[in-house]
Structure 1
């Protein structure tokens, strides 16, 4: 089935206390695709999703979702599922009772509500905990119930803000499976996430929001293919946190920290030394290297380039 355009945003702008939050955002979403929305805290990701959901009205530009304006038209908002980062459920109600409440809020008639609740319980694999209080469930089940509440009206567009935050690998895999099934049924998904592996696993396209503007947008395979024509990434795993002297040596070799014990370089490092020579070079400089990994650069390298604007790809990809 040929995808349809579900979201067309052109030049979206929004200010808060005279400071721009979004400044000329262009974004198009199609049915049956997943787009990962990346960006640092404060870049405007949640604000953009609230605009798409109809919770805010744009102050500049134009926004059409399913052919209408979500902030003005209730019928348009019914075609949108909004999954906030916070668990927006009542902890002293069961999963089934929560879903019945949200079915009423979604405007479903009495005769529709029972069927809709049963449908999303099955879709989110929640039947085993349907009659358990939300407040006693694991974080993974709460996240799935949070998503299920947004599916009751069979939305065409589903907006998810950090849907797997704070849960374990098994629960994350269950949510990823649910999102895959929603995409396969023809929904458009926009997922705000800080997890690069999650974005690579789920997304057809990525959009990087930087200071209220889209700094990079495009099909993930195309962006990665263009990136991987360059040198591989080098990742250094340390046995102990780097001392100031060791950190200076790593930075001089082209590395940047990505964790307390991990440093990474996306370009040729240490005058082109191979892995073994680089290991010896860094240890000679007093760096407590445990191992060096060489791999193809991934989404994180694209993201960092989009934030600093260093790579021409960030200006030309579409």
Structure 2
């Protein structure tokens, strides 16, 4: 039996101060499915999420979420959970008090409110900190409480903007487990993230926004399967930032910087040398190499191919 389609977007377009933000976006999302939304800053990710949440209306195109128009129907908006990147909680209230406030705002009556708060505390594994002030909690607990506030009305669609930003691995694993449970329970999840490992861990499908358009979209296993028929990916970890001559040697060998101490190449590098020979070659050229990793290409290679050289459009916010 085919799962219910929760989101259907066709030709969505949005302009901000006469600048195009989104231009002809098509997207769909089914119950029990997780979609990772990727793209550079300014590509339109936050604006697209605001359209899906009903906080903005498209200037062109059609959008249906849970069978209705989220910009016009309050009943539809109540079926959408929005988890912003910022912690949208009251620091001087406890977790339980915060959830009660948001349950009131969702229009839940007293009995339904108490039941909903107890339910999401358990679902997000927050019972042990339920009566702790939010302002003294760790970042990981605050982010879980931020997600819990979006679950009170049992949403069909949950929108999450960078849900694990700035937290440690243990807290990240707890949030990933929570998102897995929500997906297994039948919710549709759209996660905007810059974390490729997170997207590979959580997503069934990936969509890459490129200059206000979908530049790449598909099932993650299918996309990775086509990518991994090519050469392996090489990553150089440096002990120190490279001097100009060392940086030139890295570029001549086919590498490009992806961080202050990390350079990567997805094509055949340095004459096809294997890892050990490449390590010796780069050190001979004065490159302060600490480690070379050889692995199958991942989502980041797909992403860079999809956005490479793309102009960046202005985005209304975020």
Same fold, TM exceeding 0.5?
A: yes
Q: 1:26 is matched with which residue?
A: 26
Which residues in structure 2 correspond to 1:273-292 (within 5 Å)?
273-292=273-292
| In structure 2, distance between residues paired with 1:166 and 1:238 | 24
Q: 2:241 is matched with which residue?
A: 241
Which residues in structure 2 correspond to 1:136-175 (within 5 Å)?
136-175=136-175
| In structure 2, distance between residues paired with 1:274 and 1:123 | 48
Gaps of 5+ in 2: 311-318
2:97 counterpart SS class = helix
| In structure 1, distance between residues paired with 2:292 and 2:97 | 52
Cα offsets for 1:106-142 (capped at 9, x unmatched): 1112221000000000000111111111111111110
Q: 1:126 is matched with which residue?
A: 126
Cα offsets for 1:24-59 (capped at 9, x unmatched): 111000000101001111111111001000011111
Kindly state the Cα deviation for residue 278 of structure 1 after the two structures are TM-superposed: 1.5
* RMSD of Structure 2 on Structure 1 (CA): 1.1
Q: TM-score, normalised by structure 2?
A: 0.96
Q: 2:267 is matched with which residue?
A: 267
Which residues in structure 2 correspond to 1:105-120 (within 5 Å)?
105-120=105-120
Kindly state the Cα deviation for residue 219 of structure 1 after the two structures are TM-superposed: 0.5
Q: 1:97 is matched with which residue?
A: 97
2:85 counterpart SS class = coil
2:264 counterpart SS class = strand
Q: 2:76 is matched with which residue?
A: 76
Q: 2:314 is matched with which residue?
A: none
Q: 1:15 is matched with which residue?
A: 15
| In structure 1, distance between residues paired with 2:27 and 2:7 | 7
| In structure 1, distance between residues paired with 2:2 and 2:145 | 31
1:27 counterpart SS class = strand
Q: 1:5 is matched with which residue?
A: 5
| In structure 2, distance between residues paired with 1:225 and 1:132 | 46
Q: 2:313 is matched with which residue?
A: none
Higher relative contact order (CA closer than 8 Å, sequence separation 6+): 2
Kindly state the Cα deviation for residue 19 of structure 1 after the two structures are TM-superposed: 0.4
2:131 counterpart SS class = coil
Q: 1:43 is matched with which residue?
A: 43
| In structure 1, distance between residues paired with 2:291 and 2:183 | 39
Kindly state the Cα deviation for residue 276 of structure 1 after the two structures are TM-superposed: 2.1
Cα offsets for 1:241-299 (capped at 9, x unmatched): 11111111111111011111111101111121222222222122211112211100001
| In structure 2, distance between residues paired with 1:67 and 1:123 | 26
| In structure 2, distance between residues paired with 1:215 and 1:309 | 12
Kindly state the Cα deviation for residue 309 of structure 1 after the two structures are TM-superposed: 7.1
| In structure 2, distance between residues paired with 1:138 and 1:92 | 14
| In structure 1, distance between residues paired with 2:18 and 2:195 | 31
1:204 and 2:204 aligned: yes
Kindly state the Cα deviation for residue 2 of structure 1 after the two structures are TM-superposed: 3.3
| In structure 1, distance between residues paired with 2:275 and 2:199 | 29
Q: TM-score, normalised by structure 1?
A: 0.96
| In structure 2, distance between residues paired with 1:290 and 1:309 | 30
Structure 1 residue ranges, 4+ long, deviating more than 6 angstroms after superposition: none
1:135 counterpart SS class = helix
Which residues in structure 2 correspond to 1:52-91 (within 5 Å)?
52-91=52-91
